[in-house]
Amino acid sequence: MVEEVLDYIDRNYESFIVDLERLVNQPSVSAKNEGVRECADLIKRMMKGIGITVESLELPDSFPLIYGEVQSKCNPGKTILFYNHYDVQPAEPLELWKTPPFKLTMREGKMYGRGAADNKGSFISRLKIVESWLKVKGDVPCNIKFLVEGEEEIGSMHLQRYFDRYGKRFKCDGVLLSGGEVDQEGRPIVRLGVKGVLHLELEAKGPIRDSHSANAAVVENPAWRLIKALNTLKNKTDRIVIPGWYKDVRPFTKEELECLKAEPLYVKAIKKELGIKSLVGGMKGHEVNKALAGKPTCNVSGLVCGWTGSGMKTVLPSKAIAKIDFRLVPNQKPKVLLQRLKRHLKSKGHSDIAIRTYGMYEAARTRPSDPLARAAIKAAEQEYTKPPVVSVSHSSSGPMSYFTKNLKAPCLYIGPGYPDSRMHSPNENMRIGDFIKGTRWVTRTVNVFAKMK
């Protein structure tokens, strides 16, 4: 039965790309409120056009969340939910794009455009899975729901409120989250989790305006003040020294450790991609995989102060800002850690440092032995010539914890991406071959999961 659906996908993927082109060509930059509502309307029309019951949910001061569902006639007792987002990152710097970011362009077997990979390509892939089942069989193998939000790229700030109000509609037996990819060797990755994150900004203030650097003899520079505060966060071995930071960290389970040992080693690939000779602390082998999946981090993602243009300007800045992201692991609570950070800075004499938060997620993981994970693994074995990689956790973050906490349902990341898709960067792209193969993989996963008792 599923083979007929897969055959439909193979014969019609070019028409799928036409719809992806329509979606990429519609800007939807949530950070700038550029085209977001127009894109939400387009998503709604696309879903309705293939027979999905769809509605636009909205809260005050939020972008629309598009919810849709298809009821299965043959298997109404099981439900899978697809989570995607239709908002994208800003396209800047525009001069680094080889072709316009909001015009899907084909070259060398790839589809280029903002959102081609993150996350419009994944959404179209899943939309066309439903279309393929309905066209071929007039039914889907189990109930399929869609939750497509427009605020993921700005922290999913209203997602919990949507769950508070509409959570009963989203009830399901498993969630396939946005994204997913193959690795550098073309092995499909079954991603079981993501780290949590705490995004914030530290600001040190000095004089009321920038002044001549000659005043450094008598006026404290806020940049040095900020540097001293940052220096109290980690030690020379890269360990975060904020008291209690590791108190709630959950160790890897036996199942997870077995997966980590089986994961391919990516040390050489990381070094080659980033042009570096060594990793933190000389880390090697499987310790790298364990760190990527389960090591809390404290990263300075930006420093802003004073004169940053070309040439010299002898100025003493009035303020200095550091943008920080902490990656978190299971059982670490971002709100608790934020308070620990505040107490730490105060104890070190830096209570004057202002803290602004920009977003936070908790970490989340699904068990490797969960039926949804087993379905994705089995489907990957059927679809790909190389065995799947079962990944305990991505080193980055996402809204997975909202689903595990509110729906009590297992969640996975699987789909049509690949490592050089350049998400969030100029020349974002998706390979056409991965788009087709990933669509087939998720189709098989839904079919296998639907048949599980």
Angstrom distances, CA of residue 226 to CA of 45, 230, 235, 281: 50, 6, 16, 25
249 phi and psi angles, rounded to 5 deg: -60, 130
Which pLDDT value is given to residue 278? 93
Which pLDDT value is given to residue 273? 82
| Angle, CA 409 vertex, CA 406 and CA 414 arms, to 5° | 115
Whether the predicted pLDDT of 231 surpasses 90? yes
What Rg do the C-alpha atoms of the chain give, in angstroms? Answer: 23
Whether the predicted pLDDT of 270 surpasses 90? no
User: What 3 state SS string does the chain have?
Assistant: CHHHHHHHHHHHHHHHHHHHHHHHCCCCEHHHCECHHHHHHHHHHHHHHCCCEEEEECCCCCCCEEEEEECCCCCCCCEEEEEEECCECCCCCHHHCCCCCCCCEEECCEEECCCCCCCHHHHHHHHHHHHHHHHHHCCCCCEEEEEEECCHHHCCCCHHHHHHHHHHHHCCCEEEECCCEECCCCCEEEECEEEEEEEEEEEEECCCCCEEHHHHHCCCCHHHHHHHHHCCCECCCCCECCCCCCCCCCCCCHHHHHHHHHCCCCHHHHHHHHCCCCCHHHCCCHHHHHHHHHCCEEEEEEEEECCCCCCCCCEECCEEEEEEEEEECCCCCHHHHHHHHHHHHHHCCCCCCEEEEEEEECCEECCCCCHHHHHHHHHHHHHCCCCCEEECCEEEECCHHHHHHHHCCCEEECCCECCCCCCCCCCCEEEHHHHHHHHHHHHHHHHHHHHCC
pTM of the model: 0.91
- For residues 321 and 202, the answer to whether their CB atoms sit within 8 Å is yes
444 phi and psi angles, rounded to 5 deg: -65, -40
Angstrom distances, CA of residue 136 to CA of 74, 139, 425: 14, 8, 38
What is the separation of C-alpha 378 from the centre of its chain, rounded to a whole number of angstroms?
Answer: 24
- Residue 267 burial by Cβ neighbours in a 10 Å radius (0-12, 13-18, 19+): middle
For 299-323, the pLDDT digits (tens) are 999 999 999 999 999 999 999 999 9
Q: Of 30, 32, 42, whose CA–CA distance to 87 is shortest?
A: 30
CA dihedral (111, 113, 117, 123) positive or negative: negative
**What is the set of domains in the chain, with CATH numbers?**
2-192+366-451 (3.40.630.10), 197-361 (3.30.70.360)
453 vs 121, higher pLDDT: 121
pLDDT band at 325 (very low <50, low <70, confident <90, very high): very high
For 144-199, the pLDDT digits (tens) are 999 999 999 998 999 999 999 999 999 999 999 998 999 989 999 999 999 999 99
Task: Supply the mean pLDDT for the chain.
Answer: 96
Longest CA–CA span in the chain (Å) reads: 80
Whether the predicted pLDDT of 272 surpasses 90? no
Return the structure tokens found at 170.
């989203």
Whether the predicted pLDDT of 359 surpasses 90? no
Q: Report, as an integer, the average pLDDT of 414-422.
A: 94
pLDDT band at 269 (very low <50, low <70, confident <90, very high): confident
